[in-house]
DNA sequence: TTGTATGCGTTATCAC
DNA sequence: GTGATAACGCATACAA
């Protein structure tokens, strides 16, 4: 509109094609003198290539889509930041969508993104079977699932963490502290990581030879408020001495419930949870939680998606990353001073080639 | 690539142009019979228009850019969600960038976004004078500032909240509780909302006829950890009975510091803060804070930016939205049960026409 | 009412 | 080493 490539060519006394060669460093070589003239013209005119035209021609947008169930949820916010970090390092930009735990809206975003010709998609599927599956199938756009699997499928590429093992570790840690009546505040019944985390809790309970108190499993949404409500219920109805929650957010809510009921954490009720969001380190007491490797998650997810972009059939497995017990005060361990987390959820860049294909 | 408009036209026994007319509902009318054939062909082939080609032709992308200093920070996460919500309602999609409080990176994002021909940009400028200003100037892409103003400027369209008035209210509330030695944990010295919030604190202190204890102002970054460190320092070095913090995140850190030092909040140290993020309602005690109208912020920002897209010269002022005191336990008010916040930071949709220009 | 043709700004393939 | 030219897929003005 304002200044096109042809203008640059004219000023530099050459042809538009040559301008491209200079700016893109190829595919053909250009004489140093011409090159200098082109660069000068670009500078003086303030020419900036039109990315849309380029995308149309190149058939790639250098844009990745990310659809999560709730952008404002700290866990997804940290996950998004990690993805963004890794994508940026590879020269990709992120289109972000808030599915709002609603299939219809999630599908609306996926469709819009597909239409905008994103090169690849990260999806944290809402509960149930996403109605956008057919669209994704037809579009041939590489996509990969994050944090959750699509219900009932096992052949869709995914990057997950060891939910079952982590939940088991978290529960065992409560057992080691001598707790015996451990309730489980789980996620929604039909959401993948919830079921696996419940399974891990069950594993630990069973191994300890404890009765599987089914009534001690509360299926509520992830999030502070559901955690708060569930904790109030389980604490007033049952005699428990510990709670394992499926998310830090729920744990934060539970912590609040414990205090409101005049109980003390960890003395009366110990808590361990899952995720390792930054806020967990600043609660009082600080939360003992299974920390997810956000930085690694982002790097693996981006790296795998990019692989699938160049080779749509390749890299089709499921990555399961380990989680790590971060012992703090809520389980009964000594409570370290605030801010023991490294405060850098996205992690530092790795030695991977950081290539920015876009100029 | 897979299925083009021409394919649809062929199957429907008509021309590509007609396909456009049907899909876009204009600009020309088409016979019902033809229309039906086209629709059937679209359905059976699963044709989806290429948004990139459309953008090139139409010279608009239906995409808005949002660059914030830190995506993972809960305040910006809630702000982003509000923007996303409002943009979605208008059929716009959000390209999101994490400036990481770093001018260079912020500029990199702005440039990339501009190159991708976004229709408009929301910028939460990092401290100092952004080096992307010339780019924005040349690009003629409408943009608007959120939460902060560009240092030293007053003619750039912005959507802000009443930082000074809010800070004053928060501080006065502490005074009403009988506190007299009120420290101020501020943001970085050169960031707009920080200076205004300090000014508000100063207003209240001065009006109360109290000495302006300059040493009681601590300029630290927003964020939990800085708040924690600052609180530890101010609590051990000085005798204070209250703290006003410039952000909820800092307050959360401060709360942790209070507890670690064996003090009680609000008994020994009362706290009020600023922002009204969801987490504030679940701290123990829950934070008394100046709640920002996230939903309204998003709607106003989007609405104003869209206005500027249709009329680049119009709507060039600065919006200042009011903030509201949310009294909870940390100031000494009765602590309501957890989850008193409506848990819907983005707010419900208004009666504004929700138009989705994209199909 | 419908088919044809041109241009959006770029990259890449041609001859030169 | 360089200049013209054909796509990319769409929207629309124009001729039929």
Query: Judging by beta carbons within 10 Å of its beta carbon (0-12, 13-18, 19+), is residue B82 exposed, middle or buried?
Result: buried
Q: Are residues B40 and B132 in the same domain?
A: no
Question: Which nt sits closest to B18, CA to C1'?
Answer: C2
Instruction: Find all residues with CB under 8 Å of B16, minimum gap 6, and list them.
Output: B5, B6, B8, B9
For A220, the domain range is: 163-291+323-346
| C-alpha distance from residue B5 to each of A134, A196, B51 (Å) | 20, 45, 12
Nucleotides of D under 7 A from a protein CB: 1-5, 7-14
Percent residues over pLDDT 90 in chain B? 61
Same domain (yes/no): B176, B32: no
In a domain, B356, yes or no: no
The reported pTM is 0.91
**Is residue B188 domain-shared with residue B332, that is, in the same domain?**
yes
B-contacting residues of A 285-344, CB under 8 Å? Answer: 286, 337-339, 343
**Structural domain includes residue A356:** no
Tell me if chain A has a CB within 8 Å of the CB of B7.
Answer: no
Is the CB of A6 less than 7 A from some atom of nucleic acid strand C?
Answer: yes
- Contact check, Cβ <8 Å, A278/B345: no
Q: Which of A110, A112, A133 is nearest to B356 (CA)?
A: A112
Residues B179 and B279 in one domain: yes
Tokens representing residue B205 in the block: 């202190």
Give me the helix-helix angle, A5-12 and A16-24, nearest 10°: 100
Task: Calculate the angstrom distance between C1' of C1 and CA of B35.
Answer: 12
Q: Is residue B146 part of a domain?
A: yes
Domains contained in chain A, number: 3
Q: A46 CA, D2 C1': separation in Å?
A: 24
Same-domain check for residues B209 and B271: yes
Closest CA to A226 of A189, A278, A266, A279: A189
Which nucleotide does the CA of A37 lie closest to, via C1'? Answer: D2
With an 8 Å Cβ cutoff, are A72 and B81 in contact? yes
Is there a domain that residue B227 lies in? yes
Please give the average per-residue pLDDT across A5-26, as a whole number.
Answer: 73
- Same domain for B242 and B213, yes or no, is yes
Instruction: Indicate if A204 and A329 belong to the same structural domain.
Output: yes
Closest residue by Cα to residue B344 from A225, A254, A67: A225
Same domain, residue pair B237 and B124: no
Closest CA to the C1' of C8: that residue is B57
> Residue B95 is nearest to which of A74, A95, A257, comparing CB atoms?
A95
Chain B 6-45 residues whose Cβ is under 7 Å from strand D: 6, 16-17, 20-21, 23-24, 26-28
Residue B239 near chain A (CB below 8 Å)? no
Give yes or no: residues B112 and B184 share one domain: no
Give domain status of residue A239, yes or no.
Answer: yes
The domain that holds A33 is classified in CATH as 1.10.260.40
Contact A224 B255 (CB under 8 A): no
**Residue A174 is assigned to a structural domain of this protein:** yes
Element (DSSP H or E) covering residue A273 = strand A270-275
Question: CB-based contacts of B10: which residues, under 8 Å, 6+ apart?
Answer: none
Where would I find the beta strands (DSSP E) of A40-92?
63-68
Contact (Cβ atoms closer than 8 angstroms) between residue B230 and residue B254: yes
Residue A92 is assigned to a structural domain of this protein = yes
DSSP symbols for B61-114: -SEEEEEES-TTSHHHHHHHHHHHHHHHHTT-EEEEEE-TT-HHHHHHHHHHHH
Same structural domain, A82 and A34: no
CATH of the domain at B147: 3.40.50.2300
CA A37 to C1' C5 (Å) is: 36
A215 and A173 in one domain?
Answer: yes
- pLDDT tens for chain B, 359 residues: list them: 468 777 777 777 787 777 778 777 766 777 777 777 778 778 888 888 889 999 988 889 999 999 999 998 999 999 999 999 999 999 999 999 999 888 999 999 999 999 999 999 999 998 878 899 999 988 889 999 999 998 888 889 999 999 999 999 999 999 999 999 999 999 988 888 888 999 999 999 999 988 866 668 999 999 899 999 999 999 988 789 999 999 999 999 999 999 999 999 999 999 999 999 999 999 989 999 999 999 999 999 999 999 999 888 888 899 999 999 999 999 999 998 876 644 443 333 333 333 333 32
| Domain identity same for A167 and A282 | yes
Residue B215: closest CA among B203, B230, B226, B194: B230
Distance B13 CA to D14 C1' (A): 21
Distance separating alpha carbons of residues A55 and A63, to the nearest angstrom: 10
């Amino acid at each position: 509109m304002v200044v096109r490539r042809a203008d640059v060519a004219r000023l530099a006394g050459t042809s538009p094609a040559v301008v491209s060669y200079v700016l893109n460093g190829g595919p053909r070589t250009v004489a140093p003198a011409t090159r200098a003239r082109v660069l000068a013209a670009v500078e003086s005119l303030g020419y900036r290539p039109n990315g849309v035209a380029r995308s149309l021609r190149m058939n790639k947008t250098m844009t990745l889509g990310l659809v999560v169930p709730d952008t404002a949820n700290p866990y997804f916010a940290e996950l998004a930041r990690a993805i963004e970090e890794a994508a940026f390092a590879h020269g990709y930009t992120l289109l972000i969508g808030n599915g709002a735990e609603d299939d219809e809206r999630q599908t609306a975003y996926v469709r819009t993104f597909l239409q905008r010709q994103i090169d690849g998609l990260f999806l944290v599927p809402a509960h149930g079977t996403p109605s956008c599956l057919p669209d994704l199938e037809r579009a041939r756009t590489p996509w990969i699932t994050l944090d959750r699997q699509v219900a009932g499928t096992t052949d869709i590429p995914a990057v997950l963490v060891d939910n079952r093992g982590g939940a088991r570790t978290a529960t065992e840690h409560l057992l080691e502290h001598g707790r015996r009546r451990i309730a489980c505040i789980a996620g929604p019944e039909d959401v993948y990581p919830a079921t696996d985390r419940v399974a891990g809790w069950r594993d630990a309970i069973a191994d300890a030879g404890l009765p599987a108190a089914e009534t001690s499993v509360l299926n509520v949404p992830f999030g502070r408020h559901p955690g708060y409500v569930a904790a109030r219920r389980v604490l007033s109805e049952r005699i428990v001495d510990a709670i394992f929650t499926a998310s830090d957010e729920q744990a934060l809510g539970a912590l609040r419930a414990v205090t409101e009921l005049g109980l003390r954490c960890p003395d009366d009720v110990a808590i361990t949870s899952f995720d390792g969001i930054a806020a967990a380190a600043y609660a009082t007491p600080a939360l003992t939680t299974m920390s997810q490797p956000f930085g690694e998650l982002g790097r693996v997810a981006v790296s795998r998606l990019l692989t699938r972009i160049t080779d749509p059939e390749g890299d089709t497995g499921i990555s399961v990353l380990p989680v790590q017990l971060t012992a703090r005060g809520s389980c009964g361990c000594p409570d370290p001073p605030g801010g023991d987390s490294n405060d850098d959820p996205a992690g530092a860049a790795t030695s991977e080639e950081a290539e920015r294909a876009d100029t």
